Amino acid sequence: VDCEGAHFEQVPNILKTKVRILRIKNSSISIIQKGAFKRYTDLKELIIENCDQLHTIEKFAFKGLSRLK
């Protein structure tokens, strides 16, 4: 799923749960909260680029992503 240029402040929870690749680029995301990706258990690749507003990644934000490379 490509979320380039999407205007959200947090990781979206409206995507299909079977997402394997998630690309967040040029987004206004400002925080990645604890458990932000917990519904995306099939996620193998996560790309976060050029998110200038991103200032906080909470502890355990990526917990449960055992397939992540």
CATH number, domain of 32, equals: 3.80.10.10
Tokens of 18: 């079977």
Compute CA distances 1 → 4, 56, 58, whole Å: 9, 23, 23
50 — pLDDT class (breaks 50, 70, 90): very high
Predicted confidence (pLDDT) at residue 14 exceeds the cutoff of 70 = no
Residues in the chain: 69
Decide if pLDDT at 57 tops 90. yes
Q: How many domains does the chain have?
A: 1
- The domain containing residue 3 runs over which residues? 1-69
Q: At which residue do the structure tokens 């929870």 appear?
A: 13
